[in-house]
Homo-oligomer: A and B are copies of this chain.
Amino acid sequence: MSLPAKKYDVFQAIADPTRRQVLRLLAEKELPISEITSHFPISRTAISKHLKILSEAELVIGRKVGREKIYRLHPEPLTELKQWLSYYEQFWSNKLSVLKHVVEKEEESGLQVVRSKEEMERSSGQ
């Protein structure tokens, strides 16, 4: 009896450039489907499908108002992305973080680490 099993996760949802643009739009303000569509060269139906996918990923929330369906941004699921990313941050970002890991390994191995001020500055440059 597994859970509903969302068909679209955040990673898939943001993989498409059109959907990313839609998110940007909705970040400005909530909009009905027709208005969203007016920003794109594709059909209203296509946009509707993108919205359904974003909706399944819970990146947007739609509510019906009269004959319109108004969507707004719901950014919370992006935290999952952020967490995923955070794992890799240790590997790139500034050279300092690389140094940090070298140091941690050296500390684990019981070595004493001494670096000069000059070395620090060389390492932290972009």
Main secondary structure of the interface of A (DSSP, over half): helix
Within 8 Å of chain B (Cβ to Cβ): is A12? Answer: yes
A85 vs B27: C-alpha distance in the bound complex, in angstroms?
Answer: 12
The interface-forming segment of A40-48, A73-81, A110-118 is: A73-81
Please determine whether B91 and A79 come into contact, CB atoms closer than 8 angstroms: no
A15 vs B15: C-alpha distance in the bound complex, in angstroms?
Answer: 6
Query: Which residues of chain B come closer than 8 Å to A75, judged between CB atoms?
Result: 88, 91-92
Please determine whether A73 and B91 come into contact, CB atoms closer than 8 angstroms: yes
Query: Which residues of A from 14 to 61 have beta carbons under 8 Å from B?
Result: 14-15, 17, 20, 23-24, 27
Within 8 Å of chain B (Cβ to Cβ): is A82? Answer: yes
Task: Give 14 new A-B contacts, CB below 8 A, not counting A75-B91, A81-B81, A82-B89.
Answer: A11-B17, A11-B20, A12-B15, A14-B15, A14-B84, A15-B15, A27-B87, A27-B88, A73-B91, A78-B85, A79-B92, A81-B85, A82-B85, A85-B85
